[in-house]
A and B are shown apart, each in its own frame.
Chain A
Amino acid sequence: MTDWEAPDTGVDPFVTSGDDRRLDATTEIERGTEGLWTPSSLLTHDDVPSHVGFWKRFRRNKVATVAAIYLILLILAAIFAKQIIPQNPNYQNLLQINMRPSTAHWFGQDDLGRDVFARIIYGARISLEASFLAVALALVVAIPLGLFAGYAAGAADMVLMRISDAIQVIPALVLALVITGILGPSTTNVAFALAVVFAPGFVRLIRGQVVSVREESYVEASRSIGAKPLFIIRKRILHNVASPLIVQAAVTFGFALLAEASLSFLGLGAQEPTASWGTMLTRAFGQVYQAGWLLWIPGGAIAITVLAFNLVGDGLRDALGTETRGA
């Protein structure tokens, strides 16, 4: 919100000036006089709309801020990989295999003499792309379904919830493994499989929120005005569901990254020679006796990035918390 005005800091908000707080029971309504009902001196910092307070609250969480900056840098690096590292990440130099980190090759070189730093950056592209695609697909499916199930209630709700129960009883990774196995190994298929795995959780979360928001009297008020269900869902329900959904999406993003790496590690995701963190791990695993340190680099990248997503998720939850959002 840009049109929010900062409270007048020149005046102590708690000091009342003169008699503008006559709020006795017999006071008649005086139209046009603001003072009686809304003495500006009574306006406190509660006036700050939630959007403005959000960044302030998020920044207070140092760890989450650092994690967010890391993720932003990582995403930028993934997007501009070609500009940052013009060389082909698949370029082999068989004269220099399993080389330890040096100034020329920051993260060393793998068993085919490829630059590990380049592969990590290009790999981030694959890993982030797949996770993003998985979460985005899951959300695209889950948002309408969750809103529908929660708002429509009744039989449709029950059927949808039982279906999502059925999906959720299967361990996430096993299900993703099976789906990718059937569809055939590729990054897109991994993303699709993960979307199937994540969607029920999102549907459930959204539905739960909708069910609780639906009972609020502002929704009833909208109905009494004559608003159509779609209007109510769009204008009244969706934004009240958004906060927990954003948090959940951030955390799921981390899990997607981990799952993508796991599936790639098992050979179901990106295929050699394409660099992805999971395939790099597989590759390094084969060299564990020759160059064990190679495991640390993709492993560390995965661990740090997943951790960062979780930390950002926590930070978002604290900053978006509905209890603080109202005030």
Chain B
Amino acid sequence: MTAEDQPLLRVRGLEKVFPVKKGIMRRTVAQVRAVDGVSFDVGKGEILGLVGESGSGKSTTGRLILRLIEPTAGSVELEGQDVRALRGEELRKTRRDMQMVFQDPYSSLDPLATVADVVGEPFQVHFKMTRKERDNKVVELLEQVGMGSHHLRRFPAAFSGGQRQRIAVARALALEPKLIIADEPVSALDMSTQSQVVNLLLDLQERLGVAFLFIAHDLSIVHHASRRIAVMYLGAIVEVGDAEEVYARPRHPYSEALISAIPVPDPQAERDRTRIVLKGDPPSPLNPPSGCRYHTRCAYAMEICNTVDPEPTPTVNGGTVSCHLHTSGPMLNGRPISQSLRNTSG
């Protein structure tokens, strides 16, 4: 593999196990498998959407990549360099290439620091610059995210959620990263502001060629924002594929259920369609189900699903899906779950 075609970010078998400790002796009584063998690639300048419900391990995955949390197992490579092997100063340097935009813009900005301090922080950390130089840089960055220089001396309290998120994006851009991990960057915002921020990210990707790992629980936003989607369930990726494909023709029963939860903006169509309503809560990652982790809630569950964890199977156009429907039973072989299958299994 040459340097040209290697992906920007390569995640293989990433795992994080959180011990549950109890009592004064802090004995480990259980383990939460928050992220359980996640693998994916993010290409240069690509936006990969990572969707899944709350508690599926999306955010943890993002933090593991940045090593804000130490992974238990697996590998993370940024341009072929093993991020997990980095220590001290090297890690700090590499962090310049990967930045993060956090979910809640109300807590991701220090309330007692001015915009100049917040956005200028990366320069303060990595370069020796005078205050003046820093402020000039900050003004440039603010322009990139559509904000004016007169905000420089203001405190975060003066801004709306959307503006705060812009400031957070400006901070993430400061070091000209190759990858930005956007952890639910819009879910704390109003509907009207959400699309502004998403459009801003798309615009930045286009102009600056930054790659994004776009984490969200809202499939419609991810579908809009990204070319490729990875669907996560209970700490594992169940389907990866082209955004349009996954959205229109899901291969995994869970993706299908997620998509079916998106309302259709047409009252007639909305009434006519059959929604797949998942029963119950997701199983606890403290005690994940045997076999396929989704079988307890899957409408198509078969015998084999109780015992064997499905391997990823390639789909027709470059994606993968981890589901027994493709390798046994109806033998879908990477084809979408069809309407007929849905009807027969009721």
A residues whose Cβ falls under 8 Å from a Cβ of B: 1, 3-4, 23-34, 36-38, 43, 46-47, 49-50, 216-218, 220-228, 231, 235-236, 239-240, 325-327
**CB atoms of A37 and B146 under 8 A apart:** yes
Q: Knowing A34-B148, A223-B68, A227-B125 touch, does A50 contact B155 (C-beta < 8 A)?
A: yes
Complexed CA–CA distance, A266 and B43 (Å): 77
- Which of A24, A36, A221, A236 counts the most chain B CB atoms within 10 A? A221
List the 6 shortest-distance A-B pairs measured between CB atoms, nearest first: A226-B95, A226-B92, A217-B108, A47-B158, A34-B148, A218-B110
**CB atoms of A23 and B112 under 8 A apart:** no
B residues whose Cβ falls under 8 Å from a Cβ of A: 66, 68, 91-93, 95-96, 98-100, 102-104, 107-114, 117-118, 121-122, 124-126, 143-144, 146-148, 150-151, 153-155, 157-159, 162-163, 166, 168, 171, 175, 191-196, 199-200, 203
**CB atoms of B66 and A32 under 8 A apart:** no
Complexed CA–CA distance, A50 and B104 (Å): 22
Q: Which residue of B lies closest to A37 (CB)?
A: B146
B163: which A residues are within 8 A, CB to CB? 37-38
Q: Knowing A25-B195, A38-B147, A326-B157 touch, does A220 contact B92 (C-beta < 8 A)?
A: no
A26: which B residues are within 8 A, CB to CB? 195
Q: Knowing A24-B192, A27-B196, A38-B151 touch, does A221 contact B108 (C-beta < 8 A)?
A: yes
- The tally of CB-CB contacts under 8 A between chains A and B is 123
**CB atoms of B196 and A29 under 8 A apart:** yes
**CB atoms of A1 and B109 under 8 A apart:** no
Complexed CA–CA distance, A222 and B199 (Å): 25
Nearest CB of chain B from residue A106's CB, rounded to whole Å: 46
**CB atoms of B100 and A224 under 8 A apart:** yes
- For A31, give its contact among B66, B143, B158, B194 (CB under 8 Å): B143
**CB atoms of A23 and B193 under 8 A apart:** yes
Complexed CA–CA distance, A216 and B154 (Å): 20
B191: which A residues are within 8 A, CB to CB? 25
A226: which B residues are within 8 A, CB to CB? 91-93, 95-96, 122, 125-126
Helix, strand, loop or mixed for chain A's interface?
loop
Helix, strand, loop or mixed for chain B's interface?
helix
Complexed CA–CA distance, A221 and B168 (Å): 9
9 contacts between A and B (CB under 8 A): A26-B195, A29-B200, A47-B155, A49-B155, A216-B110, A220-B108, A222-B121, A226-B126, A327-B157
**CB atoms of B175 and A31 under 8 A apart:** no
Q: Knowing A31-B143, A38-B147, A224-B66 touch, does A239 contact B112 (C-beta < 8 A)?
A: yes
**CB atoms of A220 and B102 under 8 A apart:** yes
**CB atoms of B153 and A3 under 8 A apart:** yes
Complexed CA–CA distance, A266 and B44 (Å): 76
- For A225, give its contact among B99, B107, B166 (CB under 8 Å): B99
B200: which A residues are within 8 A, CB to CB? 29
Complexed CA–CA distance, A239 and B155 (Å): 14
**CB atoms of B146 and A30 under 8 A apart:** yes
Nearest CB of chain B from residue A2's CB, rounded to whole Å: 10
Complexed CA–CA distance, A43 and B147 (Å): 14
Known: A47-B158, A217-B102. 12 other contacts (CB 8 A): A26-B195, A29-B196, A33-B146, A37-B163, A38-B159, A216-B107, A217-B108, A221-B100, A223-B68, A224-B68, A224-B98, A226-B122
B193: which A residues are within 8 A, CB to CB? 23
- Which of B98, B99, B148 counts the most chain A CB atoms within 10 A? B148
A235: which B residues are within 8 A, CB to CB? 113, 117, 121, 124
Nearest CB of chain B from residue A53's CB, rounded to whole Å: 10
**CB atoms of B195 and A221 under 8 A apart:** no
Complexed CA–CA distance, A30 and B147 (Å): 10
Q: Which residue of A lies closest to B92 (CB)?
A: A226
Complexed CA–CA distance, A34 and B166 (Å): 13
Nearest CB of chain B from residue A245's CB, rounded to whole Å: 14
Complexed CA–CA distance, A17 and B135 (Å): 31
